[in-house]
Structure 1
C-alpha cells in the first residue's frame, strides 16, 4: 500500500462552547487519525466549527455564493479525502445551522467522498435521526456514507451505559471504518501542465538562428 498524506474535514454544528457535539467530533477525529497514522499515512485535519461561520452561512444562502473565510473553508472541505459530520439533534432532526450549511454546499463536491455521520442528543430514542434524516441528506449529495454512525446521548458521556455498547467502543469502530475508506480512496492525479512542452521565447529564437 502506498502511504500518502490524507486530509480529513470535520464539521461540528454545536451551538455552545464547550459542546458535547464538538467533543464527539474530536473523539471521532482522534480515532480516525490514529488508525490512519498506524497504517503509515500522514493526516491533515481541517475542523469547521459552524458556530463561527453562522452569519456567513446565512449570507451565502441569501446571495447564492460564499465569500471570505467561509469560501476558504468550503474549498478545503471539497479537497478532503474524508468527512466527519456531527450535529446536535433538535426535535428529532439535525440543527437548522447544520442544514443551512449543507444547503450551500456544491451539489457535486461530495461525490463518492467517505462520510461518517454522528449526532448528540438527550436520549437514545433520538438516535434514529441518523438514518431517517441525516443519511438521506448526504445520500442526495452522492457521498459515500458509511453504514457505521455514532449517536451519543447524555448518559453515554456519564458512562451509565458502559456495560452495553459503550460509546468509546462505538467511536473506535467508526474511526476504523472511516480510516479504511479514506485510505482506500483513489486520489486524483495531478493535472499535467498543458504548456509544459511549449518552447520558451528564447528557444524559438535559437531555432531560427537569431
Structure 2
C-alpha cells in the first residue's frame, strides 16, 4: 500500500536549511515505512512559492485560488504531515502561520504531524513546544511526541546527534502512518456529490474547498412544480 506524506516547509531562502531538514525527515520516514513493507509518496510544499497566494487569500476573505486549493486538498488527504519552520522572533515564521490560518478548522483532524524547526542558535529549541505544538493541537491534529530542532551547528559539528533525532521522530511518524488498514487518504472523499467520510476515530476532515454536502440545483428543487 502507498502512503501519502506532505512536507510543508516555510524557509524563505533558496537553498534553505528549513527545506533541507524537511527533506531529510521525509527520507527517513520513507525508509522506515519501507521497512514495514509499504511505500510512501511525498509531496513537498514550499511556502515561499505560495506567499502571494496566501496574502491574497487572507485579504479577500478566502476567495478560491486554484493553486492553494490544490494544496489544501492534497494536505487533507495525506496520511501524515511534516511541518518545518524557521524561528523568527522566538516563534514560528509569519509565512508558516499564514498557511495554517487559511486552512479549514477541520483540515488536519487526526492527522499525524511531525513538527520541526531550524534556527541559528540552540536557545530557540523550546519554540517547538511553546508555539508549534499548540498550533496543531488546536487544529485537532495528532502531534507526535518527538519534535526535531536543528540549529546551525547541528548541520556541522553535531550531525550525529541530529541524525538520531531525525530517525527517532521518523519512526514515530512511520508507525502512525501505517497504523490504519486503509490509510487516511481512503477516508477523504469530500467533494460535490459525496459527503466527507470519517477518519479512523470517527471525526471528519474537511478541506474547506469543496462544498459538502452537495448543493441541490434549482432544476431539481422545482421538479414537479408547474409554477402556478
TM-score by length of 2: 0.78
Aligned to 2:203: none
SS at match of 1:166: helix
Contact 2:77 2:188 in 1 (8 A): no
CA distance in 1, matches of 2:173, 2:187: 22
Structure 2 residue 39 is the aligned partner of structure 1 residue 26: no
- In structure 1, list runs of 5 or more residues that go unmatched: 195-210
The one-character-per-residue Cα deviations of 1:115-156 (angstroms, maximum 9, x if unpaired) are 000000011110100000000000000000001100000110
Give the CA RMSD over aligned residues.
Answer: 1.7
Give unmatched runs, 5+ long, in structure 2: 195-228
**2-structure distance, mates of 1:166, 1:42:** 27
Determine the structure 1 residue equivalent to 2:91. 93
| Counterpart position of 1:138 | 136
Which residue is 1:61 aligned to? 58
CA shift, 1:190, in A, is: 8.3
- Structure with bigger helix share is 1
Residues 185 and 113 from structure 1, CA distance in 2 versus in 1: closer, same or farther, beyond 3 angstroms? farther
Deviations 1:33-78 (Å, cap 9, x if unpaired)? 1101111112111110000010001111112324121111111011
Deviation at 1:185, TM superposition (A): 3.5
User: Quick check: 1:83 aligned with 2:81?
Assistant: yes
The answer as to 2:25 corresponding to 1:15 is no
Relative to 1, partners in 2 of residues 1:90 and 1:5: Cα closer, same or farther, differing over 3 Å?
A: same
Mapped partners of 1:121, 1:149: distance in 2: 14
Larger radius of gyration: 1
Q: Which residue of 1 aligns with 2:223?
A: none
Task: Give the aligned length.
Answer: 187
8 Å CA contact retained: 2:47, 2:96:
yes
Give, in whole Å, the separation in 1 of the partners of 2:163 and 2:187: 37
Cα distance in 2 for partners of 1:46, 1:135 equals 22
SS at match of 2:106: coil
1:98 is displaced (CA, Å) by 0.3
Q: In 1, Cα distance between the equivalents of 2:65 and 2:78?
A: 19
Instruction: Measure the CA separation in 2 of the matches of 1:189 and 1:128.
Output: 34
